[in-house]
Amino acid sequence: MDPRELYQEIILDHGRRPRNFRPLPDASHTAEGKNPLCGDHVIVRLRYRDGIVEDVAFEGSGCAISTAAASTMSELVKGKSRAEVDALFHEFHELVTGKGVANLEELGKLAAFAGVSEFPMRVKCATLPWHTLQAALEGGRVAVSTE
Ligand code: ZN
């Protein structure tokens, strides 16, 4: 299978049936993010304890790219430390901005977003959930905007 088709399939699948799209009543950290350019709105909640993301969930509404980005992110960051989350976001950011990544395999499903680098308007859609997750990890209820 052409990797591009596989990537497209992953994004469509996660856009239509987002994983961890639910409330998280025992969340310890929450942040809200908005991308006014596209109208994406995401609320990321996590249970962060002893330096580990024990659980993560999101809600909101947005385009297929932002929804799929939040969904794949939620799958990948669960069980990870803050440093691991930061490293993943760094790699993901390099990928979607077309800078290339050292190890595509390490990114798993996130590799599906490689094509986003061809559409600069979409980079903010793909990174919004990650910026919001970082804001949540910084602590408290905070709002971020990509503008
Ligand atoms: Zn969007």
Structural domains of the chain ordered from first start: 3-139 (3.90.1010.10)
For the chain, the residue count is 147
CA of 72 to the centre of ligand 1 (A): 15
Label residue 140 by pLDDT band (50, 70, 90). low
- pLDDT per residue over 6-41, tens digit each? 889 999 999 999 999 999 999 999 999 999 999 999
Label residue 106 by pLDDT band (50, 70, 90). confident
Label residue 120 by pLDDT band (50, 70, 90). confident
Average pLDDT over residues 95-111: 85
Give the three-state DSSP class for 55. Answer: strand
CA of 90 to the centre of ligand 1 (A): 20
CA of 12 to the centre of ligand 1 (A): 14
Distance from C-alpha of 101 to C-alpha of 88, rounded to nearest angstrom: 11
Indicate the pTM of the whole model: 0.92
DSSP-derived pairing of the beta strands 40-49 and 52-61: antiparallel
CA of 116 to the centre of ligand 1 (A): 11
Distance from C-alpha of 25 to C-alpha of 28, rounded to nearest angstrom: 9
The distance from CA 100 to its chain's CA centroid, rounded to whole angstroms, is 18
DSSP 66-83: HHHHHHHHHHHHTT-BHH
CA of 26 to the centre of ligand 1 (A): 28
CA of 50 to the centre of ligand 1 (A): 33
What lies within 8 Å, CB to CB, of 60 at 6+ separation is: 32, 40, 41, 42, 43, 70
Longest alpha-carbon distance in the chain: 44
End-to-end Cα distance, the chain: 38
CA of 51 to the centre of ligand 1 (A): 30
The predicted structure's pLDDT at residue 77: 96
Other Cβ atoms closer than 10 A to 94: 15
- pLDDT per residue over 49-81, tens digit each? 999 999 999 999 999 999 999 999 999 999 999
Of 65, 83, 81, 82, nearest to 127 (Cα)?
Answer: 65
